């Protein structure tokens, strides 16, 4: 894989970037449908001209996309829902967007999200095969990066909404530890699990973004030496297909040949129970957080969104509190095992992107890590027999985000695969 950063420090390339962005939008957007809103070339140039004078700009006027549940000043936030189809523009940036602007990056539009960042699919299609789902809920962000429209895009994850679309679209996807990046200015789905994430073409670029968005002490880690890795096939109530199993085994073999000897491990928890707890907590918080939508716009919500809200309504406060307490106990047991390793290698998804557009795919391989608050990284490894991307996932202890990314960059070099 070519690990040369997509980010240049020279503003002289800005017009070339804009031209490439416009060309990709013109040629690929009718097929991919990654965007709900894009700004003009004039506005991009205006934004570039208002960068803080004298400030270091590590992202160098890089253009990026923003999932449409994240506020961007001057752009409407419609949350992928007909309930907000006439939304006015946001008055201010979300915290993550403000930090990226300060670092020199320029948001060029809002990307498609599943409704309210849950499961009701938007219009986005998989760039590798439009008959297949791009995943969700951060579908537009993953597809926009995969199609080469922008070098990076922001997403969010509550269950599997970053890692799964990254896997289906064949790009690097990173989900930060819960709490590692401010969620201010982002519509909450489930405060117990929501985390920010981003999609890139290389781990190096994911690291550059992390150094802007995460606290300095999270970003000072420089991993060297041989990482202590575990391999985990314990994902919960799903069946992983043969190609995903082969992808994981192939990476293990690469690691062995390079002198890294992973240990096969199992978490001392019942992952199926964890899935149940995550679902109860998430849907109950959705019911509370989506009060406006269910009270005033229920007739404009999709069936999957309404079903989840009703499911959450049926979870009593007593059940909710009990589930939170059980989750804390399970998290303590799980982290006692995870802390023994620098990172764990596991599946990103049960298989390649499934065919169809009525769903966003299966998130069983991701929900455990969202529930535990762990950082997670998807690494593409190649293509399946039907020409769709496939890859593996790395996870680590909460608040070890940059260490995970540094290890991911080592493994990415061994894999040495990059979509053309």
pLDDT, tens only, 171-223: 999 999 999 999 999 999 999 999 999 999 999 999 999 999 997 665 555 55
Domain residues for the domain of 402 are 11-262+338-415
Residue 309 included in any domain: no
Taken as a whole, the chain contains a residue count of 420
Query: What CATH number should be reported for the domain holding residue 195?
Result: 3.90.1300.10
Residue 150 included in any domain: yes
What pLDDT is recorded for position 133?
Answer: 98
For the chain, residues with pLDDT lower than 70 are: 1-11, 52-57, 216-224, 419-420
Residue 318 included in any domain: no
Residue 354 included in any domain: yes
110 flagged as catalytic: no
161 flagged as catalytic: yes
> In this structure, what DSSP letter does residue 37 have?
E
Q: Which of 67, 110, 175, 187 is catalytic?
A: 67
Strand locations in 140-235, DSSP E? Answer: 152-157, 172-175, 195-200, 229-231
Domains in the chain, number: 1
Residue 400 included in any domain: yes
Residue 2 included in any domain: no
pLDDT digits (tens, 9 = 90+) for 357-392: 999 999 999 999 999 999 999 999 999 999 999 999
* Placement of tokens 């679309």 in the chain: 165
Q: Which of 61, 137, 364, 370 is catalytic?
A: 137
Residue 301 included in any domain: no
67 flagged as catalytic: yes
User: What's the gap between Cα 11 and its chain centre?
Assistant: 28
Residue 308 included in any domain: no
- What count of Cα atoms within 13 Å lies in the side-chain half-sphere of residue 199? 37
Q: Which of 161, 190, 323, 364 is catalytic?
A: 161
């Amino acid at each position: 894989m070519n690990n040369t950063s997509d980010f240049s420090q020279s503003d002289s390339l800005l017009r070339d970037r804009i031209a490439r962005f416009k060309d990709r939008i013109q040629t690929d957007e009718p097929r991919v449908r990654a965007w709900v809103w894009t700004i003009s070339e004039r506005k991009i140039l205006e934004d570039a001209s208002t960068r803080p004078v004298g400030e270091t700009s590590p992202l160098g006027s890089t253009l990026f996309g923003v999932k449409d549940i994240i506020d961007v000043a001057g752009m409407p936030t419609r949350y992928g829902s007909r309930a907000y189809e006439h939304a006015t523009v946001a008055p201010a940036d979300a915290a993550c967007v403000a930090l990226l602007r300060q670092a020199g990056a320029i948001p060029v539009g809002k990307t498609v999200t599943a409704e309210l960042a849950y499961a009701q699919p938007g219009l986005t299609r998989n760039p590798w095969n439009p008959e297949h789902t791009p995943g969700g809920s951060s579908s537009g962000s993953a597809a926009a990066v995969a199609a080469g429209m922008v070098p990076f895009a922001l997403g969010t994850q509550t269950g599997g909404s970053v890692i799964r679309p990254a896997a289906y679209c064949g790009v690097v996807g990173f989900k930060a530890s819960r709490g590692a990046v401010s969620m201010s200015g982002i519509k909450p789905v489930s405060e117990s699990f929501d985390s920010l994430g981003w999609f890139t073409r290389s781990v190096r670029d994911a690291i550059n973004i992390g150094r802007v968005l995460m606290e300095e002490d999270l970003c000072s880690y420089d991993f060297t030496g041989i990482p202590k890795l575990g391999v985990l096939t314990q994902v919960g109530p799903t069946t992983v297909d043969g190609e995903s199993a082969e992808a994981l085994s192939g990476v293990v073999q690469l690691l062995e040949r390079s002198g890294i000897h992973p240990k096969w491990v199992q978490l001392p928890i019942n992952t199926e129970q964890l899935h149940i707890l995550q679902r109860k907590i998430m849907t109950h918080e959705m019911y509370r957080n989506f009060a406006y939508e269910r009270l005033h716009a229920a007739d404009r919500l999709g069936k999957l969104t309404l079903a989840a809200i009703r499911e959450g309504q049926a979870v009593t406060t007593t059940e909710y509190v009990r589930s939170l307490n059980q989750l804390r106990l399970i998290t303590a047991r799980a982290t006692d095992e995870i802390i023994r390793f620098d990172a764990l290698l596991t599946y990103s998804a049960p298989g390649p992107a499934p065919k169809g557009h009525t769903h966003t795919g299966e998130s069983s391989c991701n929900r455990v890590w969202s529930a535990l608050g762990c950082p997670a990284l998807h690494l593409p490894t190649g293509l399946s027999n039907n020409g769709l991307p496939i890859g593996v996932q790395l996870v680590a202890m909460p608040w070890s985000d940059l260490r995970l990314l540094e290890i991911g960059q080592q493994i990415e070099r061994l894999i040495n695969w990059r979509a053309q």
